[in-house]
């Protein structure tokens, strides 16, 4: 297990290229199961989560080839059972349920466990499958869905915590091959859902309304192969934006969609930083410590839960009192105890973190716990005095392509140590 040593006090400047989106690539790779014909997916990031998804596709019988950022999937003859030993490594494996049900009319996938950011139920996914006419069985830690045929239906996917991203993806993929029209009310509107819908339409699906809360899918008899380039990763981009705010003078992100980063940009502007954009770049102009903020995480296009930990790191060294409230994953505060080891003054009140800015954090050995919490600890180390040692770096490698190399390219001083 590697660890990362962050030597604090370096200032960041220059530019960095953003990789393809993890949360877009995963469902799009799963969607390749919907056709026997080859699919070519470009700008696929080199991440362990992507590696796990390719392992699952191979286990299901698909032929998978990877040449740097381009993946070719040929799912001519496939099985419909994704076993525990692979699925347990990545919760997002649940997004193979929809394409398997759509194409094979049955699927068995090990139930995703919970994870450190909180309970990860799939009741909304299963509600959607049942509405399409599938039977659902949960037994021995597996969920099995099967149907003689799938029939379009109007389905409301709103849950207690808002819409479901992968649930919307799963129902879109199953409904693409159902008979008749499916309408998803309360759909997730994230850019990654739109990217998947665009790929499905390139395969011959008939999907309208992706990016809004109401998606209409007219089922077709079959789908054909297609080529697609994955959108840039808005959360990786947001993470580098916060790094620039913490330690930057002026940092430019290349290959981004500024429109996908409006909520993060607005938060940083409110905290006193400059944001300049062009068609596919975004520049953050540093300005020392942040002004205090009150933030609430909500479904897109509001402030994303996947950026909450990173903002905690930024606001820990600031003025006044900030409050960040989680409306999506109320327990997603594993990073708080580690930031407090670095001297942050944060108290948890229900689903809110109340942050009293301090003059400066101090480097310390800290433990990564989940993907975004780990990135937040690296960010905190950028300006902290001394060295911050982030252990269990495999959490970061799940969702960030060479984050240490990219930050070092901007002037950080980060070492990766094999342990
Ligand atoms: C996706 O997870 C992302 N992962 C997550 O990013 C992201 O945090 C999340 O959406 C919210 O934006 C991928 O896209 C691979 P949800 P997903 O279903 O789809 C509840 C990262 O760091 N819910 O939108 O699994 C759920 O418990 C990861 O890259 C139900 O109650 O999340 C949560 O409170 C972490 N029943 C809320 O809805 C369900 O059936 C949103 O979950 C499904 C979800």
Average pLDDT score over residue span 356-372: 94
| 393 and 406 co-located in one domain | yes
- Residues annotated as catalytic are 115
**What is the overall mean pLDDT for the chain?**
95
Task: Pull the structure tokens for residue 242.
Answer: 């916060």
| 260 and 409 co-located in one domain | yes
Best mutation site among 25, 93, 120, 263 for ligand 1, i.e. most ligand atoms within 8 A of its Cβ? Answer: 120
Please give the DSSP secondary-structure letter assigned to residue 91: G
Ligand 1: residue whose CA is nearest its atom 43: 122
Measured between alpha carbons, how far is 55 from 292 in angstroms, rounded to an integer?
44
Query: pLDDT tens digits, residue range 306-346?
Result: 999 999 999 999 889 999 999 999 999 999 999 999 999 99
Average pLDDT score over residue span 226-254: 97
pLDDT at 115: 67
Task: Pull the structure tokens for residue 94.
Answer: 């649940």
46 phi, psi to nearest 5 deg: -90, 85
Q: What count of other Cβ atoms lies within 10 Å of the Cβ of residue 68?
A: 8
| 32 and 70 co-located in one domain | yes
Q: Which sign does the torsion angle of CA 234, 238, 244, 250 carry?
A: positive
* Domain total of the chain: 2
Measured between alpha carbons, how far is 132 from 191 in angstroms, rounded to an integer?
25
pLDDT at 255: 98
129 Cβ inside 6 Å of ligand 1: no
pLDDT at 114: 58
| 358 and 239 co-located in one domain | yes
Ligand 1 atom at minimum distance from 300 CA: 12
23 Cβ inside 6 Å of ligand 1: yes
| 266 and 182 co-located in one domain | no
| 182 and 264 co-located in one domain | no
More confident residue, 116 or 231: 231
Average pLDDT score over residue span 248-270: 97
> Cα(409) to centroid of ligand 1, in Å?
32
pLDDT over threshold 90, residue 248: no
| 144 and 253 co-located in one domain | no
Residue 91 to residues 81, 115, 148, 155, 195: CA-CA distances in angstroms?
A: 15, 8, 27, 23, 20
pLDDT over threshold 80, residue 287: yes
Indicate the length of the chain as a whole number. 419
395 burial via Cβ count (<10 Å: 0-12, 13-18, 19+): buried
Query: pLDDT tens digits, residue range 206-219?
Result: 999 999 999 999 99
164 Cβ inside 6 Å of ligand 1: yes
| 220 and 71 co-located in one domain | yes
> Cα(83) to centroid of ligand 1, in Å?
21
| 413 and 319 co-located in one domain | yes
- Please identify, among 176, 205, 229, the residue that sits at the C-terminal boundary of a domain: 229
> Cα(119) to centroid of ligand 1, in Å?
10
Measured between alpha carbons, how far is 309 from 371 in angstroms, rounded to an integer?
10
Measured between alpha carbons, how far is 48 from 55 in angstroms, rounded to an integer?
10
| 150 and 247 co-located in one domain | no
Average pLDDT score over residue span 125-153: 95
Share of the chain above pLDDT 90, in %: 89
pLDDT band at 90; cut points 50, 70, 90: confident
Query: pLDDT tens digits, residue range 34-68?
Result: 999 999 999 999 999 999 999 999 999 999 999 99
| 246 and 360 co-located in one domain | yes
Ligand 1: residue whose CA is nearest its atom 24: 164
End-to-end Cα separation, the chain, in angstroms: 6
Ligand 1: residue whose CA is nearest its atom 21: 306
> Cα(325) to centroid of ligand 1, in Å?
16
If DSSP codes are grouped into helix, strand and coil, which group holds residue 115? strand
pLDDT at 150: 98
pLDDT over threshold 90, residue 81: no
Domain that holds residue 151: 22-229
pLDDT at 89: 79
| 173 and 249 co-located in one domain | no
- Please identify, among 210, 229, 248, the residue that sits at the C-terminal boundary of a domain: 229
Please give the DSSP secondary-structure letter assigned to residue 161: T
Q: Choose the weakest-confidence range: 74-83, 155-164, 227-236.
A: 74-83
74 Cβ inside 6 Å of ligand 1: no
pLDDT over threshold 80, residue 116: no
Q: What count of other Cβ atoms lies within 10 Å of the Cβ of residue 271?
A: 22
239 Cβ inside 6 Å of ligand 1: no
pLDDT at 201: 98
pLDDT at 113: 60
Assign residue 68 the CATH number of its domain.
3.65.10.10
pLDDT at 282: 98
More confident residue, 270 or 116: 270
Best mutation site among 306, 351, 368 for ligand 1, i.e. most ligand atoms within 8 A of its Cβ? Answer: 306
CA torsion angle for 119, 124, 126, 127 (degrees, to 10)? 150
> Cα(250) to centroid of ligand 1, in Å?
33
- Please identify, among 229, 261, 278, the residue that sits at the C-terminal boundary of a domain: 229
Average pLDDT score over residue span 163-180: 98
Nearest to 333 by CA among 297, 378, 385: 297
């Amino acid at each position: 297990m590697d660890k990362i040593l962050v030597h604090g006090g370096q200032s960041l400047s220059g530019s960095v290229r953003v990789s393809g989106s993890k949360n877009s690539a995963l469902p799009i790779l799963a969607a390749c199961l919907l056709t026997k014909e080859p699919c070519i997916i470009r700008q696929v990031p080199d991440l362990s989560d992507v590696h796990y998804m390719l392992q699952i596709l191979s286990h299901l019988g698909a032929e998978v080839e990877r040449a740097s950022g381009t993946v070719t999937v040929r799912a001519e003859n496939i099985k419909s059972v994704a076993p525990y030993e692979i699925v347990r490594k990545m919760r997002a494996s649940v997004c193979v349920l929809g394409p398997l049900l759509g194409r094979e009319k049955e699927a068995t996938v090990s139930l995703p466990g919970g994870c450190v950011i909180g309970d990860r139920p799939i009741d909304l996914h299963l509600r959607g499958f049942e509405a399409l006419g599938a039977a659902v069985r949960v037994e021995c830690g597996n969920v099995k869905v099967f149907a003689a045929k799938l029939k379009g239906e109007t389905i409301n996917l709103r849950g207690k915590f808002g819409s479901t991203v992968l649930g919307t993806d799963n129902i879109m993929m199953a409904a693409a091959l159902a008979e008749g029209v499916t309408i998803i009310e309360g759909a997730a509107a994230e850019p990654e859902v739109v990217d998947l819908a665009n790929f499905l339409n390139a395969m011959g699906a008939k999907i309208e309304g992706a990016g809004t809360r109401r998606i209409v899918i007219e089922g077709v008899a079959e789908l054909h192969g297609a080529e697609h380039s994955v959108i840039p990763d808005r959360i990786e981009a947001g993470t580098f934006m916060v790094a620039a705010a913490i330690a930057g003078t002026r940092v430019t992100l290349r290959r981004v969609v500024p429109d996908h980063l409006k909520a993060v940009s607005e938060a940083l502007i409110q905290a006193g930083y400059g944001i300049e954009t062009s068609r596919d770049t975004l520049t953050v102009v540093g300005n020392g410590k942040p002004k205090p903020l009150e933030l609430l995480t909500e479904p897109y296009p509001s402030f994303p839960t996947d950026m909450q930990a990173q903002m905690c790191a930024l606001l820990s060294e600031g003025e006044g009192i900030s409050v960040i409230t989680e409306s999506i994953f109320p327990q997603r505060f594993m990073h708080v105890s580690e930031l407090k080891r670095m001297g942050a003054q944060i108290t948890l009140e229900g689903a809110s973190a109340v942050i009293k800015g301090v003059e400066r954090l101090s480097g310390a050995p800290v433990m990564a716990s989940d993907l975004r919490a780990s990135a937040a600890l690296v960010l905190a180390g950028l300006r902290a005095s001394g060295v911050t040692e982030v252990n269990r770096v495999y959490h970061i490698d799940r969702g960030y392509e060479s984050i240490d190399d990219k930050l070092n390219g901007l002037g950080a001083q980060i070492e990766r140590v094999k342990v």
